[in-house]
Every structure is written in structure tokens, then in C-alpha cells.
Amino acid sequence: MNFQDSGRPHEHGAVPTRGMNRMDNTMVLVVDDDQMVLDVVRLGLEAEGFDVVEALDGEAALAVFDTMKPAAVVLDIGIGRPNGIEVCRQLRSVTSVPIIMLTARRDELDELVGLAAGADDYVTKPFSSRVLAARLSVRLAHRAEAIPSDVLRFRNLAVDLEARSVTVDGLPISLTRTEFEILALLLSRPRRVFTRAEMIDSVWSQEWFGDYHLVETHTSRMRRKIIDAGGPRVAIAVRGVGYRLADDTEQLAIA
């Protein structure tokens, strides 16, 4: 007997559905606190060839994502424990899979906040499952073209986003969680200068209780560990703004 037939909620609010044994480009995690919405979305996406796993709240969504490693996430902004924006922010800190937010109202502020948290797209309820499936297909196709793997590389440095590991010439380097997040952020947009405020929002989010000097401290330690291991100089301070990835002409500069 499955959990839907029994009428009993799955542990932590997650509900397994067809396709949980597959680890391919068709698995989508759908998160909504309304089981009727989940049922409608699941049936619509399955009809379009997707496999679906479900979660009823934020805590379950994070747990299911960590276990199942879906290719994309459809996330309602109004869920709880934590809310959709915070779930989006936490997911984006560890993965680059497409995230499409669902909302019951067309509110520009909600959309801006969601996009700032890392969402790729927005769909307003009520919506067509075929339209949602089409948007998922486009996002997945773009990701397959732009990001062939979850490993970011810079010269002899490799950062595996899924395994959360860093190597120089294939040898591992031990970074703290914060140092890893800063490094991944800089490598994600090689030509962009990240302000200290953007780095705080991306790396620390609501856990931030310090000042901008801690950004400099963590970045400096991360940079030194990589250089000491024979890796490249990864972070260049832009006076009065923040940090960016060093280019080839700056590799000989004193770290």
C-alpha cells in the first residue's frame, strides 16, 4: 500500500511517487503544502514524461532533495518550515539545478525576492501543467548546454559542487563550509565583481551577525589555503566594492 492510498503522511511530510528509483534528467521535486495541487502537478508532469517526487513543506523538501538529487525543483513560495524563499536560497547554495517558483498571486515584489534568492523562473497559479512542463524542459536543456557537470574548474583547481570537495592537481584541500561557499560563488561568475553585501547574502543569508571584515578574513584564508597547495590565486579585492576571480595576468601578483 502506498502512502497516498493509506491517507497517512510520509515521514517529514514527503510523499514518494512514481520514478523514485531513477536518477536521470527527468526527475522533478515538486513542493507545495496543498496535496491537491501536488496531485494535479504530478499527473500533468508525468503525462509529459517527467518523474516526480513530492514534499509538503520546506524541511521535507530539503531532505528529499538531498536524498533523491532531482534534476529540477518546482517550489511554492507559500510553504512553511521554512518558507519557499528560504528553501530556494538554501538549495541554491549547494546546487545549480533549475528552480521554478509557484505563487498564488502575481506580485512583483514576491517575484523579485524569489529571483534574488536564486529562482530561475516564476509561474502564477492557476497554470497549465503543459506550460510548466515546457518551462522545465527549456531550463533543463539550457543547463545541459551551459553546465555539463557540477564541477567548476579554474586552471589546476577543481570544485565539485555536489561532493562539496576542492582539489588542486587532483589532491584534496580542506576548506571550511564558508570558505567553500565563497570559492564556489566566485567561480560561478568568473568576470563578475561580487559586492560584500552580495557575498553575505549568498554565503551567510539569515545566519549573518558580523561585519564586512569577516568577509575579508574568510576570503583571505580560503585564498591562502589554495595558493599554499599549489593552486591559482582565486580572489582579487576590488577596493571599496568586493571580490572577483583573478585573471591570468594577476596570477604572479603577491597574494
Q: What is the pLDDT of residues 6-48, one digit of tens each?
A: 333 333 344 444 333 333 468 999 999 999 999 999 999 999 8
pLDDT over 70, % of the chain: 78
**CATH 3.40.50.2300 location in the chain:** 3-146
Tens-digit pLDDT profile for residues 96-131:
788 998 887 666 666 677 777 788 888 888 888 888
Q: Could you give phi then psi for residue 95, rounded to 5 degrees?
A: -150, 160
Q: How many CA atoms lie within 13 A of 220 on its CB side?
A: 7
The pTM of the whole model exceeds 0.85: no
Kindly report the average pLDDT of the chain as a whole number.
79
Predicted local confidence at residue 251, as pLDDT:
56
Give the residue range(s) of CATH 1.10.10.10 domains in the chain.
Answer: 151-250
Architecture of domain 151-250: Orthogonal Bundle (1.10)
Question: CB neighbours (10 Å) of residue 165?
Answer: 15
Grid coordinates belonging to 203: 554565503
Rounded Cα distance between 47 and 30, Å, is 15
pLDDT score, position 27: 92
CATH label, 3-146, candidates 3.40.50.2300, 1.10.1200.10, 3.30.70.20, 3.90.380.10:
3.40.50.2300
The one-letter amino acid at 138: V
Q: 41 — phi, psi (to 5°)?
A: -65, -45
Please write the tens of the pLDDT for every residue from 137-188.
888 876 655 544 578 888 899 999 888 899 998 899 999 888 999 999 999 8
Proportion of the chain above pLDDT 90, given as a percent: 33
